[in-house]
Amino acid sequence: MSARINKYLSEVGYCSRREADKLVEEGKVTINGKIPELGAKVEEGDQVEVEGQRIEKSTKEKNIYLAFNKPVGIVCTTDRRVEKDNIIDFIKYPTRIFPIGRLDKPSEGLIFLTNDGDIVNKILRSRNNHEKEYIVGVNRPINEDFIQSMSNGVKILDTLTKNCFVKQLGPKKFKIILTQGLNRQIRRMCESLGYKVQTLKRVRIMNIKLDVPTGKYREFTKEEILKLNLLLENSSKTFE
């Protein structure tokens, strides 16, 4: 039974499919000693290595799902050689896990970590309309025009952001619920309207709310996993 290399690395719990593609592009993956192209398939009996480390399918470990409250300054990467403040070294979890999506270095709050590569793509794909909620502080007072503009879509990265829920919480603070995840989206939206983000905290992803102290994590409850699976039931994956 064959599988694309990104799917193979995802299913064995090595990394997400997106990260697997990056590893292939960087020439860090080999199949039977040869560097494959993107989309190459792994056949039964093939020897897969990442940076010289043999990657084998084994009896599937228990799926791990963690809700982590990322502090400011921690980087959401599994590349432990590039960033000393990476999320993996910070958490020091005993088995291999990787983050679902990103929170940039100056941001804080909820991020998921898992060894389940399939769930990553279902959560991240914007067409699945999965909600992510943030509390944002900016550098100067906001008004109704700002709230309406943010709600109705802002032109960034050559596209108009999707309509979203925005509510003012204070003179310089608001809540925003997004269903897409463009690069540095909230910061870029604010900048396009003449504001600068000073604090950005993610407080919810789908049905999971942030309820642990900064720098701490917890496992999903059985009830959360059941509800999450229901929400993901009709979600498509990033790569088919």
The residues that are catalytic are 104
Identify whether the C-beta of residue 122 lies closer than 8 Å to the C-beta of residue 237: yes
Rounded CA-CA distance 144/193 in Å is: 13
* Number of neighbouring beta carbons within 10 Å of residue 216: 12
Identify whether the C-beta of residue 174 lies closer than 8 Å to the C-beta of residue 168: yes
Strands 108-114 and 197-205: parallel
* Number of neighbouring beta carbons within 10 Å of residue 215: 13
Residue 24: partners with Cβ closer than 8 Å, 6 or more residues away: 5, 6, 35, 36, 37, 38, 40
Residue 66: partners with Cβ closer than 8 Å, 6 or more residues away: 91, 93, 97, 112, 113, 114, 217, 218, 219, 220
Identify whether the C-beta of residue 188 lies closer than 8 Å to the C-beta of residue 157: yes
